[in-house]
């Protein structure tokens, strides 16, 4: 919190971008490192023999092979950031910068004894629609990305 305030990012979207980046980066590095270890070293050696430099090896050899892993990891990181509550509640103050989970949690009824269950449930359903759409869109890549490297042989 002190770092966010010192950087002048309190109650701004930048504070959430920074915190979610720090929050999801270890997970994505861990998953992608595990996937990269499963790629054969012979691919890199063959590209080097053909005269490819490091940039060409990464962009033309490894990135196309990493598509499923990038899709699965990216979607899991997006879901983690999308559903995160604590940072969004701590780093935002106004409705302009709040995320949807915090806005749903702060919904109130006409009195202190009333909870608007209908509005809360409707908002929860609306919030899950983009996640379901992304999962359906990347379904094949997610399955192949999650199972890549699971079996040796």
Region for 117 from its dihedrals, namely left if φ exceeds 0, alpha if ψ lies in -120 to 50, beta otherwise: alpha
Predicted structure pTM score: 0.77
Q: Provide, rounded to the nearest whole percent, the portion of the chain with pLDDT above 70.
A: 93
Residue 134 pLDDT? 87
Three-state SS string over 29-74 comes to HHHHHHHHHHCCHHHHHHHHHCCCCHHHHHHHHHHHHCHHHHHHHH
Residue 86 pLDDT? 93
- For residue range 97-148, list pLDDT tens digits in order: 889 999 999 898 888 888 899 999 999 999 999 889 988 888 877 776 665 5
Residue 145 pLDDT? 61
What's the rounded Cα separation, in Å, for the pair 68 and 81? 20
The tokens for 144 are 């192949």
pLDDT mean over 35-60: 91
Neighbour-count burial of 80, counting CB atoms closer than 10 A to its CB (0-12 exposed, 13-18 middle, 19+ buried): middle
Per DSSP, 24 falls in state H
């Amino acid at each position: 919190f002190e770092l966010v305030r010192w950087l002048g990012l309190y109650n701004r979207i930048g504070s959430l971008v920074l915190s979610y980046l720090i929050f999801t980066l270890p997970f994505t590095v861990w998953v992608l490192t595990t996937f990269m270890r499963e790629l054969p070293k012979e691919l890199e050696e063959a590209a080097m023999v053909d005269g490819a430099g490091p940039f060409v090896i990464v962009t033309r050899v490894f990135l196309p092979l990493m598509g499923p892993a990038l899709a699965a990891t990216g979607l899991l990181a997006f879901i983690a950031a999308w559903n995160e509550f604590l940072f969004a509640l701590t780093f935002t103050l106004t409705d302009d910068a709040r995320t949807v989970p915090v806005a749903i949690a702060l919904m109130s009824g006409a009195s202190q004894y009333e909870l608007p269950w209908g509005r809360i449930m409707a908002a929860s359903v609306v919030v899950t629609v983009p996640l379901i759409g992304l999962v359906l869109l990347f379904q094949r890549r997610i399955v192949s990305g999650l199972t890549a490297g699971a079996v040796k042989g």
